[in-house]
Amino acid sequence: MSGMYHFFFIRHAESTGNAAKIFQGWADFPLSERGLEQARLLAQEWAREERRFDLCISSPLMRARQTAEIFAEALGVAIEFDPDWRELHNGIFAGLTSEAVGERFSESEMTPYVHYGESGESRWQLFLRVGNALQRLMDRGPGRYLVVSHGGALNMAMYAMLGIPLQTIRGPRFYFSNLGFAEVEYDPVKKRWELKRLENRE
């Protein structure tokens, strides 16, 4: 197999849930007016830089979908929606404020196997789900891919690509602001991942 895999993994722009400091999970909030403008400005910047992708793959949650649609239009790329790129399912915490969630549990007590919000996913389940999504990307073959997702899911993608094991304690965290992105390459000849760039917009 020859050719390189080029990935841009980007978090969605600001949602109304972000603006209200809500622990969103699978709760489906649209982009805020600020988020819509953020996405348009960065998409236009990338269009001027003539960045090109073979495909855009997005979480179907509204905040990611709207972000992906703005980039797809500006860059002239097709979109596919993959539910495995959704954010962590946080059970009964979905739609609650961060303050309300903080009063009910402490992340310091979490292990990779504890379900968020009682009925949500564990970090282990999220890791496996995102790993499956990443495998499908690799199965497409070398190319340039734009993936629009969420902070928790993108952290698990970074773990999978960089060989970081899940730990009983919280472990390292990659911070993705709204529209923060990671540029990552995979060389199938050397069989090596390389993190080229991690950029946040805030």
Catalytically annotated residue among 49, 50, 80, 87: 87
For the purposes of burial, counting CB atoms within 10 Å of the CB of 78, is it exposed (0-12), middle (13-18) or buried (19 or more)?
exposed
- Taken in order 36, 37, 42, 44, the sign of the CA dihedral is positive
Catalytically annotated residue among 6, 12, 89, 150: 12
Residue 72: half-sphere exposure toward Cβ, Cα within 13 Å: 17
3-state SS assignment for residue 143 = strand
Residues near 96 by Cβ (< 8 Å), separated by ≥ 6?
22, 23
3-state SS assignment for residue 170 = coil
Tokens of 195: 């993190």
> Is 87 part of the annotated catalytic residue set?
yes
Task: Tell me which residue has tokens 């960045």.
Answer: 51
Report the C-alpha gap between 110 and 200 in whole angstroms. 27
> Is 12 part of the annotated catalytic residue set?
yes
Residues forming the active site: 12, 87
